[in-house]
Structure 1
């Protein structure tokens, strides 16, 4: 009787073991199989995006159209199988479907099926073809690789810790742009030519002068708007020097916070209950929902 019970319960245990093994390969990268799966997935993502880009070149599309269509359907079916497998293996499929990666995975395959519908017009087909390039967002899965996860987490923490300083810096930039833009409008705007007509040199209003100030401070220098008076050129020179000095400010702020960020030994384990990532190596329970890992 006991043997019969063991035999009867074995298929269920085997099913759970199969699901768990596939879950660890598909959702995690702590094992050689998981790392290999993520690397192969990343290669497939970049190859599929290359197909989309080549398809946008008219000469290549005319010459290799059927080949590109076949490659696109191959990658779409491959990503569809992967998407279905993730849903089957997830303990809570709806939580995965409506997660960030779940939505990106769906967007990676949906446009190709929509293009195949006969009700899709040529203009809509062209737009959907562009949307397929969004599957490059799936490359963010590379951060699940163990040797990159801790660095990505430290960078995220550094940016969040420096948010107050960055906000103060941006406020100073906005104030400088408003002041310099107003001054340039006063100096350069409303000037008259030899015939007494108002000259239009790009500083006709404060918003247009602020646009010049932003372009100058960021050292872009389009050259479409430039001062002509001596005082305006002097103020422009000061703005250029200020821009060079301020370029390093946000970088130094984030770098300082990044150097002080505590680096933890994180793993790529994903909580089966809430689909959260970024758990410590010695963690036994999810730090977000408390479920045993």
Structure 2
């Protein structure tokens, strides 16, 4: 089980190309975690990411920033230089640096250091407010954690596999919001705050998600009845996407326990994986599946 997880961890960055020599050894240290050195590197980098996020959060507190401005500034530059060296090392140890730089993780790595360097280009104090907004992009460092924690990958796979079901679910919710919002616009009308169908749809979204801002409320008996129905409907709606993703994650966990035979059965038409061993057609698009491989 552990060996399979370690193999999975190395599949994602492998598409950037592993060079030979010292660059290959650096690649193994940075991208792979199946060695003590690679695991220590991952743990140290996760700790640095969390500490840098803590510095960003504390720096936004006026009292802390006023008393420890120099310390926060020094820590921020220290983390920026550290992540800059890491980003440069990643570009150096892959065969296709441009492909990594334009990938999701490459863009996150760049966004995690770019705002601090942009702050050097501020011509004067009048630009500090704009630069401060750009510096908030440092929180993108938190996304770097997804490269090192296995559960993030599993959740991403489950969401990707459930995307069609979730899109169908969202389309049904959108139709319900449109229909019920239009009904409320007709029942309540502009006199009670429902000045247009988009406004009534906004109220429908707020009501079905059980938020209830209270800025727009029904006044008629029929309107209150519709609102009550939508609140009860909202409870069921909130549970549907959770069940979809949970079922997909459970199926994938069972797949891994049963071995690789099910995981490799990917649909040639849509790329969906995780089919039953006896399945003949894709569970997402309906295309015919390749034969199941023989177990060793």
Coarse TM-score class (shorter-chain normalised): 0.7 to 0.9
227, 249, 256: which one aligns with 1:263:
256
Q: Which residue number in structure 1 is paired with residue 224 of structure 2?
A: 233
How far the C-alpha of 1:215 sits from its partner, in A, is 0.9
Q: How do 1:50-199 and structure 2 match up within 5 A?
A: 50-117=54-121, 119=123, 121-143=127-149, 148=150, 151-190=151-190, 199=191
Q: 1:128 to 1:211 in 2, by over 3 A?
A: closer
Higher relative contact order (CA 8 A, sep 6+): 1
How far the C-alpha of 1:155 sits from its partner, in A, is 3.6
Q: Which residue number in structure 1 is paired with residue 210 of structure 2?
A: 219
How far the C-alpha of 1:189 sits from its partner, in A, is 1.0
Q: Which residue number in structure 2 is paired with residue 246 of structure 1?
A: 237
13, 20, 25: which one aligns with 2:29:
25
SS in 2 for 1:203: coil
SS in 2 for 1:263: helix
- Show structure 1 runs of 4+ deviating over 6 A: none
How far the C-alpha of 1:39 sits from its partner, in A, is 1.1
Do the aligned partners of 1:38 and 1:141 also contact (CA within 8 Å) in 2?
Answer: no
Do the aligned partners of 2:146 and 2:153 also contact (CA within 8 Å) in 1?
Answer: no
Structure 1 portions without partners, runs of 5+: 1-14, 191-198, 267-293
Superposition RMSD in Å: 2.3
How many positions carry a matched residue from both structures?
Answer: 237
Do the aligned partners of 1:181 and 1:209 also contact (CA within 8 Å) in 2?
Answer: yes
How far the C-alpha of 1:16 sits from its partner, in A, is 4.8
Post-superposition CA distance 1:77-125 (Å, at most 9, x none): 1112222222222223222222222222222222212212353622232
Q: 1:208 to 1:135 in 2, by over 3 A?
A: same
Q: 1:127 to 1:90 in 2, by over 3 A?
A: same
SS in 2 for 1:61: helix
How far the C-alpha of 1:126 sits from its partner, in A, is 1.3
CA distance, structure 1, for counterparts of residue 40 and residue 86 of structure 2: 14
How far the C-alpha of 1:154 sits from its partner, in A, is 4.4
Q: 1:254 to 1:52 in 2, by over 3 A?
A: closer
Post-superposition CA distance 1:128-156 (Å, at most 9, x none): 2212222222222223xxxx2xx555444
Do the aligned partners of 1:181 and 1:212 also contact (CA within 8 Å) in 2?
Answer: yes
Q: 1:164 to 1:91 in 2, by over 3 A?
A: closer
CA distance, structure 1, for counterparts of residue 99 and residue 256 of structure 2: 29
CA distance, structure 2, for counterparts of residue 70 and residue 153 of structure 1: 34
**Rg larger for:** 1
SS in 1 for 2:242: helix
